[in-house]
Amino acid sequence: MKKMVRSVLLLSLAALMMLGASACGGKQAAADLDVKAVMEDMLAKHPIENGMELGESDMLNFYGIPAEDMEAFAADLAADGITANEIVLVKAKDEDSAKEVETKLQNRLDARRNELNGYLPDQYAIVEKSEVKRDGVYVRLIISPEQDALVELYNSYLNG
C-alpha cells in the first residue's frame, strides 16, 4: 500500500513537472513574433543615428545570411562603420537555418569586437556587452548603448 501511494505521488509529481515545463517553454506567442514590427518599436524608442535599413542582398553581403535561410528579417545599423549601433532580428525558416544564422551573426559580433578593440575604446565597450541569442527559429544580434532596454523590449515580444 505504501509503495502504491509512493508510486502515485511520484507519478503525479512527474506529471506536474511536465506540465510546468510545457508551461515555461515553446510558447505559442514566439511563433507569432513579427520581427519587423519589433524593429519598428525598437527604433521608435531608441533610434540609430545615421542608421541604414538593410535589404535582402545586404543581409548576404554584410552577414553572409542568404534569403533562403530567412522567413523574415529586420536589420538596421549605423552607416558610418565606426559607431557600435546595430540591430539584426531574424526569423529563420527552420531550426537548422537558425543555427546557421546564429553562427554568421556570431562571426559578425566577433569581427566587430576585433575591429574596435584598442581602436575606439568607447565603441568596443558597447560591443563587449553584446551577444547573439537564439530562441528556436528566432535569432537576434543587438549591439547598442541601449543594450539592456532593447533586450528587455525584444524579450517582451518573444515571451508574449
Partner 1 sequence: MLIQQVVAFLLAGVLMTGGTAGGDLQDVPQDSWAYSYVSYIVEHDVMSTTKTGYFLGEVQINRGDFILSLWRAAGSPAGGSVDFSDVKQEDACYEALAWATQQGICQDITGDAFSPAAYLNREEACAFLWRALPAFGVEPREGQSGGLSGFEDVDAVSSWALDAVGDLYARGIISGTSDTQFSPAGPVTRNEAAAMLYKTLELAGKIEGEEKPSVPTSTVPEDEWSWFDDAVFVGDSVSLKLTGYVTKTRQSDPDYLGKAQFLTAGSLGSGNALWEVSDKSVHPLYQGTKMRLEDSVQACGAKKMYILLGMNDIGLYGVEDSVKNMETLLGLIKEKTPDLQIFVQSATPIHKGNEKKVLNNANLRLYNEQLQEMCQRNGYYYVDIASVLTDGEGYLPDAYCSDASGMGMHFTDEACRIWVDYLKQDAAARQAG
Q: Which residues contact 84 (CB under 8 A, 6 or more apart)?
A: 78, 112, 116, 123, 124, 126, 127, 130, 143, 144, 145
Smaller CB distance to partner 1: residue 76 or 146? 76
Nearest approach, Cβ of residue 125 and partner 1 (Å)? 15
Nearest approach, Cβ of residue 84 and partner 1 (Å)? 10
Smaller CB distance to partner 1: residue 66 or 136? 66
Nearest approach, Cβ of residue 103 and partner 1 (Å)? 8
- Note the residues at the interface with partner 1 (CB under 8 A): 52-55, 58, 60-61, 63-65, 77-82, 103-104, 107-108, 110-111, 114-120
Smaller CB distance to partner 1: residue 58 or 71? 58
Nearest approach, Cβ of residue 118 and partner 1 (Å)? 8
How many angstroms separate the CA atoms of 72 and 89, rounded? 8
Smaller CB distance to partner 1: residue 107 or 156? 107
